[in-house]
Amino acid sequence: MSPNQKMAWGNVIVWGTYLVVSAIVLAANGTIQFWQEDSLKNAFFTITGVAIASFTIMMSFVWIRASRARVTIDERDHKIMNRANALAGPIAMTALAVTSLVLGLVYVEDKNSVMSSYFLMYVTLINVVVYWLAQAIHTLVAYRRN
Amino acid sequence: MAPLQKRALISLSMGLALAIALVVVFVTRDISTFAADLGFRLIVYALWIGVPVAYLLLINLTRLSKLKQVDERDRLIKDRAPRIQWLAVIFTLAVWYVVLNEAYWNKGQIPVVYLTLIFISILVISALAESLGILIGYWRMNRNG
């Protein structure tokens, strides 16, 4: 298995779990605005912190092992990663637009004239997570096909 | 000049013109009046929708719509551009986050009118970054061979 595939598997496990757990926590509390309650805010930050720590450990582990084994990256790897990045960008942008739209509608429905400063952090986070996940899924599919 | 490069150049020029026009509109009229002033909103919406429509018309009514001479090099450049586009969007969001947080630190909440502005800026930056990514790709390929 190439380092790209290992990283892709790690991304799918870490960020897939993160999205599922976050969705369950938010659904259980009946709101997507996690910043409204202190307990929900703490839970969300804990889940995010654990995901970031797992991602960092996983990346370091794969990188160190690949450096020690002196794994070379060929033309096929470059091509797969370029295609994965090209595909992940528009998917992440769509996720960003949908999240903004949903949150915007929530504000409009509530007739609020102000929004939380967490709003931007939220949409940025969703954008990054969806990008990594889409990139990882495409990488795994592409390696399997090739 | 390759057709894809030509399209990117047109898109970049029109995107820059739109960005400058929006900045001028928001500098001359205060953001706080955006929600209250219908004329101001209409100018912004006309710019926001009008320029991309003008770009699409320009591309579709000219020979630029037919990208027949696309080779492996063009595809490689086109595939790399979305990464630059995505990074530009992430940095734009980060800049908005820092600037708005600092500006409204004491109040703790940001006026909802900024949502429209953030959304417009992301679309403009995204289009600019993609065009710039394609142009940088051609520039690098021509430089490095």
3-class SS of residue B111: strand
Tell which A residues from 106 to 145 touch B, by Cβ distance under 8 Å: 107, 112-117, 119-121, 123-124, 127-128, 131
% of chain A residues with pLDDT over 70: 100
> Cβ–Cβ of B83/A93 closer than 8 Å?
no
What is the mean predicted confidence (pLDDT) over A13-19?
93
Q: Give ipTM to 2 decimals.
A: 0.70
**pLDDT band with cut points at 50, 70 and 90 for residue A92:** confident
Q: What angle do CA A66, A73, A15 make, to 5 degrees?
A: 60
Cα-based torsion angle of the residue sequence B74, A145, A3, A137 in order, rounded to the nearest 10 degrees: 80
Q: What is the mean pLDDT of residues A40-60?
A: 91
pTM: 0.77
Measure the CA–CA gap between A22 and A125, rounded to whole angstroms: 12
pLDDT band at A31 (very low <50, low <70, confident <90, very high): confident
Least confident stretch, A85-89, A132-136, B65-69: B65-69
pLDDT at residue B123, as a whole number: 83
A92 touches chain B (CB under 8 A): yes
pLDDT tens for residues B77-131? 877 788 888 888 889 988 988 888 888 888 878 888 788 788 888 888 888 888 8
The rounded distance, in Å, linking the Cα atoms of B105 and A79 is: 45
Cβ contacts of B120 on chain A, cutoff 8 Å: none
Q: CA B113, B100, A21 angle in degrees (round to 5)? A: 90
Nearest chain B residue to A135, by CA: B83
Mark yes or no for CB contact B112/A112 under 8 Å: yes
Judging contacts by C-beta atoms under 8 Å, the chain B residues touching residue A89 are 82-83, 85-86
| pLDDT tops 70 at residue A70 | yes
Q: Which residues of chain A from 5 to 64 reach within 8 Å of chain B, CB to CB?
A: none
Q: Does A96 touch chain B (CB under 8 A)?
A: yes
Please name the residues in contact with B101: beta carbons below 8 A apart, sequence gap of 6 or more: A117, B110
Asked if residue A139 lies in contact with residue A9, where contact means CB atoms within 8 angstroms, the answer is: no
Distance (Å, whole) CA B87 – CA A7? 20
> Among A94-103, B62-71, B107-116, B136-145, where is mean pLDDT lowest?
B62-71
Domains of chain A by residue range:
3-145
Q: Which tokens sit at B91?
A: 């940095």
Residue-level pLDDT at B145: 61
pLDDT bin (cut points 50, 70, 90) of residue A93 is confident
- Give kind and range of the element (H or E) at residue B58: helix B38-61
| Reported confidence tier of residue B25, pLDDT bands at 50, 70, 90 | confident
Would you say how long chain A is, in residues? 146
Tokens coding A13: 């496990």
Residues A2-21, mean pLDDT to the nearest whole number: 90
